[in-house]
Amino acid sequence: MEQTTSPLPKKEPKLIPTLDFSQAIKEVIGGKKIHRLEWEDKEYYCFINDSVLVLHKPDNKNYQWVLSIGDLMALDWIII
C-alpha cells in the first residue's frame, strides 16, 4: 500500500501545561480560576470570592470548597 504525504506540516497534539496544587493555588490567589483535567465538565472550576475558596458547579451555583486529599495531591490542575 502506497503512503501519501500531505504538503502541510504534521500537527503535533497540543499539550496542556498542568500544575500541582501548590502552583495552582498561587494562581487562584492571584485572581485566576483553576480546573482539574480529571473533572470532565468544564463548568467545575475554583476561585476565591471574599477570601473564601469557592467551587463553581454546573448547576451555576458556587459552594465553599472543602479540599480532598486527591485534589491536594493531583498534578492535573490547569488555569482557565
pLDDT category at 12 given cuts 50, 70, 90 is: low
pLDDT category at 80 given cuts 50, 70, 90 is: very high
pTM of the model: 0.77
pLDDT single digits (tens) 33-42: 999 999 988 8
Q: How do the domains of the chain map onto residue ranges?
A: 36-79
Residue 54, amino acid: V
Distance in angstroms (rounded) separating the CA atoms of residues 3 and 5: 7
pLDDT single digits (tens) 13-52: 667 789 999 999 999 999 999 999 999 888 999 999 999 9
